[in-house]
């Protein structure tokens, strides 16, 4: 019996310089573990684990970074939920789901759904407030030249907005009279013109909002603040608005 058991080990495993070959006596030199299917076609079955959430470090105590498992149950809530029948990899902090091509195409992973930018330089003499003026738009059915967005489906969206202006510095200006970029009822980001003399001054803001399919957001605008107007030398330069679909629930 002992001889038979030893013989089976020899035919099943190949050990070469610390390498392990299963169903091969000559594992590839670059591999620590080489799984061969020359005897019988098959695949690799990962350990099936019922993770309780994406931050579960109890079911598998002290999981190693890079550890991979196949989840067997839906568990957890919000952004820490895990989905049954999926492969997860531990990144050292949380379990991250390995997304499939189908999930990418159906919107189950973040994706940019609308993008617009302003590529021209325009004057603004005497103007206090104006809409964004995007002249290149990825999807005109979803995004206007002013950056107003129509949600193509219900769910959470993130927005990223940027504006650059050529203006004189005013670092001591009070914030309640300072310039800002905003969308009424959605976001307002106040900033100051730093440095000295005329220079390019950029400002950016971002956030997350839940939208119902067909809901339209307000347009993006810039303003120089209370009692201020753009001067003769001032210019409105680059502007950009990006809308990204995050998912149906958080």
Query: How does residue 243 score in pLDDT terms, banded at 50, 70 and 90?
Result: very high
Q: Is 134:117 a contact under the CB 8 Å cutoff? A: yes
Q: Kindly report the pTM of this predicted structure.
A: 0.55
**Domains of the chain, each with CATH number or no CATH:** 2-35 (no CATH), 48-98 (no CATH), 111-247 (2.60.120.40)
Looking at residue 121, its pLDDT comes to: 93
Q: Positive or negative, the Cα torsion across 189, 192, 197, 202?
A: negative
Tens of pLDDT, residues 62-97: 999 999 999 999 988 766 788 889 999 998 888 988
In this prediction, what percent of the chain has a pLDDT beyond 70? 79
Specify which of 74-78, 132-136, 202-206, 209-213 reaches the highest per-range mean pLDDT. Answer: 132-136
Residue entry with tokens 């980001």 = 189
Q: Is 46:68 a contact under the CB 8 Å cutoff? A: yes
Query: 73: which residues sit within 8 A by CB, 6+ positions away?
Result: 50, 51, 82, 84
Looking at residue 5, its pLDDT comes to: 44
Tens of pLDDT, residues 149-182: 999 888 899 999 999 888 877 756 665 556 778 8
Tens of pLDDT, residues 10-48: 444 455 456 787 777 788 888 777 777 766 677 778 899
Looking at residue 12, its pLDDT comes to: 47
For the chain, how many residues are written?
Answer: 250
Q: Is the pLDDT of residue 250 over 60?
A: no
φ/ψ region of 12 (left if φ > 0, alpha if ψ in -120 to 50, else beta) reads alpha
Q: Is the pLDDT of residue 2 over 50?
A: no
């Amino acid at each position: 019996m002992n001889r038979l058991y030893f013989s089976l080990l020899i035919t099943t495993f190949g050990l070469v310089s610390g390498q392990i070959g299963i169903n091969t006596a000559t594992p590839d030199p670059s591999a620590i573990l080489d799984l061969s299917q020359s005897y019988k076609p098959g695949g690799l079955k990962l350990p099936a684990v019922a993770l309780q959430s994406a931050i579960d470090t109890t079911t598998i105590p002290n999981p190693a970074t890079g550890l991979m498992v196949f989840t067997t149950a839906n568990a957890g809530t919000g952004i820490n939920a895990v989905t049954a029948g999926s492969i997860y990899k531990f990144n050292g902090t949380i379990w991250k789901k390995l997304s499939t091509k189908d999930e990418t195409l159906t919107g189950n992973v973040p994706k940019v759904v609308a993008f617009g930018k302003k590529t021209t330089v325009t004057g603004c003499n005497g103007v206090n407030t104006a809409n964004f003026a995007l002249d290149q738009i990825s999807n005109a059915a979803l995004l206007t030249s002013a950056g107003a967005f129509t949600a193509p489906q219900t769910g959470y969206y993130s927005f990223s907005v940027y504006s650059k202006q050529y203006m004189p510095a005013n670092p001591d200006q009070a914030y309640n009279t300072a310039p800002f970029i905003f969308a009424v009822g959605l976001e307002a980001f106040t900033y100051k013109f730093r440095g000295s003399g005329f220079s390019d001054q950029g400002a950016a803001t971002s956030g997350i909002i839940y939208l119902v399919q067909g809901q339209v957001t307000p347009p993006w605008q810039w303003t120089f603040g209370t009692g201020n107007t753009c001067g003769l030398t001032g210019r409105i330069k680059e502007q950009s608005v990006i809308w990204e679909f995050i998912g149906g629930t958080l």
